[in-house]
Amino acid sequence: MTPQANEVLEELRSKLRPAALAQVGGFRPPADPAASWFCKAVGLPGEPLPEWQGEPMFPLLQVRVRDLPVVPRELQGIELLVLYQNHGQHPFDRPHGEGWLIREYSSLQGLVPIEANCGRLRPFPVVWSRVEDDAPGWEDAWEIFDLTPVNEDEEAGDAFFSSFSRYGGTKFGGYPTDIQHGVGLENYVFQVASEEKVGWMWADNGRGYFFRSPAGEWSWSCQFY
């Protein structure tokens, strides 16, 4: 390995990020309905489910932010968020509110369980664990480094893919884990994986990536196999 390529890999090791990884089920469900869940949610009393094309959406993922061992700075001031999806189709390339929606709550006080039809999906509680060493994928890493020395060195290229951890499950923080191409790092907050226990899949075993701008505007993208 050339010294230049080794230097870039060492710099990459200095840029690894912590992330909060989801464990779906496998433990006793919590009594608190405001805990983190797949396919269960709370809301304000009398708050209706969001709708799209005349049909109510369902809560895919609820996250109590204080449970996260890693809290992205974009979630400052948010106590709980709920990601809603529609029953009909994945809303690829659609803006926030069109087929998908994230509700934010600045307080847990007064929130009550919401009745929602999640279809064939199975509700599971979520707990979070912390990792310290999440690494970016190849294309996203170019936003941080000039990888030319690594690209020109076969040993270094192999090390880029084999010597770093990239966590592909549902997670907050860290780096988005790509499937087809670079996801983009700007305003990235979390990703939701295809979760077998829940019965949820983004097209062919894909991932959804969610971004929040400094103005508080949400956007998303998706990749799959």
Can you tell me the distance from the alpha carbon of 44 to that of 22, in angstroms, rounded to the nearest whole number? 25
Q: Rg of the chain's alpha carbons, rounded to an integer?
A: 19
Q: Per-residue pLDDT tens for 171-218? A: 999 999 999 999 999 999 999 999 999 999 999 999 999 999 999 999
Residue 24 has a pLDDT of 96
pTM greater than 0.75 (yes/no): yes
What is the predicted pLDDT for the residue at 144?
A: 93
CATH for 27: 2.30.320.10
Domain count, the chain: 1
End-to-end Cα separation, the chain, in angstroms: 32
Which domain range does residue 32 map to? 3-223
Q: List C-alpha distances in Å: 33 to 40, 90, 146.
A: 8, 27, 46
Average pLDDT value over all residues in the chain = 96
- What is the per-residue pLDDT across 100-141, written as a single tens digit (0 to 9) for each? 999 999 999 999 999 999 999 999 999 999 999 999 999 999
- What is the C-alpha separation between 47 and 81, in angstroms, rounded? 14
**In angstroms, rounded to a whole number, what is the distance separating the alpha carbons of residues 127 and 220?**
23
CA 117 to CA 194: how far, in whole Å? 19
For position 225, what pLDDT does the model report?
Answer: 93
